[in-house]
Amino acid sequence: MNRLGSLSALPRVCIVTPGHLSTNPRVVKEADALAGAGYEVRVISADYLHWAREADRIFNDRIWSVADKVRFGPDAAQPSRALQLLRQHSARLMVAGRISSLAVARAACHPIGPDLVAAAVRVPAALYIAHYTAALPAAAIAARRYGALYAFDAEDYHLGELPELPQYNVERQSVHAIEKYYLGGCSYVTAASPGIADAYAQTYKIKRPTVILNVFPRARAPCECTAGGISSPGPSVYWFSQTIGPNRGLECAVNAIGLARSQPHLYLRGIPARGFVEHLRTMAAVSAVADRIHILPPALPSDLERLATAYDVGLVGETGYSPNRRIALTNKLFIYLLAGVPVVMSDIPAHKEFASEAGIAAQLYAADDADSLAAVLDTFLGDPKMLAARRAAAFHLGQTRFNWETEQLTLLNCIRTAFGANAKADPACVTIASPKT
């Protein structure tokens, strides 16, 4: 029998995030894995982007359910939006004036910090899992209400997401106050990269979080690897994210395609930040390669591997502009590998550490160095046989190591350990819950 006396075979788990499901794949994978293992899963998420609201519909037929969607942003009802903005602004003034408390930190951290608390306490559960700092108080307070457990998943090193500049002090102080107070009570903490795990352990003097990489289900991979991409014109270099914007190495990539002898085309998928694509095209015009910059629309998360397969090489161009960006391993890295696409990646610390595992499926270049990137692109694209070998190596890694079927076992073990004798799921028998077809 679980803590709440539920009739379910396994306890109820409530996952809390201030993001959309379609922009938060770790939440979706976690919910799929837990529901597939027999847990009753409820999710509390946010609602603030029109395109993401539409994309979230693909999760309506999962075997877990959404308990609440907390609205904020321009589409929220005006009274709620006014309250959220006033509450956060007032709280940040208090933090800046050194008048602070946990309640003030929660309000300062995110517009819906207090709203997530209210939503979480309406959902009884045996375990609450928080994603992102803003959800951590909600999980902890709801857990205290019901005598339950709570945990935290660090997709990023949140204290290090912002540059270490004075104008970000209030945000950093709020994050630090929340994490310092609540992390010690977690039944477990997980992290999305070894570097993020180390940072949390060192900053808060907690047990090193368990690493759960940002990998994806094998079902999303192509049936077989291909010798090269099929996109035209080519050869092709591919990059995607939610936003096409600065500090992601794209300026370097534009300069590099102008220098590379292989004359590659650069394909960028996402929503352009205001004026940024125009800036890239202006840069490209200087090298007479404006016609080799291609902007692609955003795509559903479930389509990303299929779409990536069409391109020769995947770019992960992180510049390391913040402490977090130096130690994170992004989703796109593992999506490329699952799609059988070799990776060209900047030499930030996280990528250097990962390169030894990737073998010929990935190669480093000096971050923000267009000459270095151009040379690596020529190495990848100048020899079709070697490109085919690299793609085969990437596909093999995706099938055998960097996939959710493998990585979810670590997550399930964390939860089984947290529940102790109350959890009877055998990870070896777990299958991933899939949408109905």
CB atoms within 10 A of CB 407: 20
Q: Is the pLDDT higher at 74 or at 262?
A: 262
Across the range 198-223, mean pLDDT stands at 96
Quick: pLDDT tens for 121-145. Answer: 999 999 999 999 999 999 999 999 9
Average pLDDT across the chain, whole number:
92
Q: How confident is the model at residue 93 (pLDDT cuts 50, 70, 90)?
A: very high
Question: At 258, phi and psi to the nearest 5?
Answer: -75, -25
Q: Do domains 12-215+404-429 and 218-400 have the same CATH topology?
A: yes
Quick: pLDDT tens for 331-342. Answer: 999 999 999 999
pLDDT at residue number 174: 96
Q: How confident is the model at residue 437 (pLDDT cuts 50, 70, 90)?
A: very low
When computed from its CA atoms, the radius of gyration of the chain, rounded to whole angstroms, is 22
Residue 423 has pLDDT above 60, yes or no: no
Q: How confident is the model at residue 162 (pLDDT cuts 50, 70, 90)?
A: confident
pLDDT at residue number 413: 96
**Share of residues in the chain with pLDDT > 90 (%):** 87
Q: How confident is the model at residue 1 (pLDDT cuts 50, 70, 90)?
A: very low
pLDDT at residue number 318: 96
Residue 247 has pLDDT above 50, yes or no: yes
Q: Is the pLDDT higher at 88 or at 432?
A: 88
Residue 51 has pLDDT above 90, yes or no: no
User: What number does CATH give the domain 218-400?
Assistant: 3.40.50.2000
Residue 5 has pLDDT above 80, yes or no: no
Across the range 93-100, mean pLDDT stands at 90
Q: Which CATH class is domain 12-215+404-429?
A: alpha beta
Three-state SS for the chain is CCCCCCCCCCCEEEEECCCCHHHCHHHHHHHHHHHHCCCEEEEEEEECCHHHHHHHHHHCCCCCEEEEEEECCCCCCHHHHHHHHHHHHHHHHHHHCCCCCHHHHHHHHCCCHHHHHHHHCCCCCCEEEEECHHHHHHHHHHHHHHCCEEEEEECCCHHHCCCCCHHHHHHHHHHHHHHHHHHHHCCCEEECCHHHHHHHHHHHCCCCCEECCCCCCHHHCCCCCCCCCCCCCCCEEEEEEEEECCCCCHHHHHHHHHHCCCCCEEEEEEEECCCHHHHHHHHHHHCCCHHHEEEECCCCHHHHHHHHCCCCEEEECCCCCCHHHHHCCCHHHHHHHHCCCCEEEECCHHHHHHHHHHHHHEEEECCCCHHHHHHHHHHHHCCHHHHHHHHHHHHHHHHHCCCHHHHHHHHHHHHHHHHHHHCCCCHHHCCCCCCCC
pLDDT at residue number 426: 36
Q: How confident is the model at residue 69 (pLDDT cuts 50, 70, 90)?
A: very high
Q: How confident is the model at residue 436 (pLDDT cuts 50, 70, 90)?
A: very low
**Share of residues in the chain with pLDDT > 70 (%):** 94
Q: How confident is the model at residue 313 (pLDDT cuts 50, 70, 90)?
A: very high
Q: How confident is the model at residue 9 (pLDDT cuts 50, 70, 90)?
A: low
Contacts of 386 (CB under 8 A, 6+ apart): 379, 380
* Domain positions in the chain: 12-215+404-429, 218-400
pLDDT at residue number 301: 83
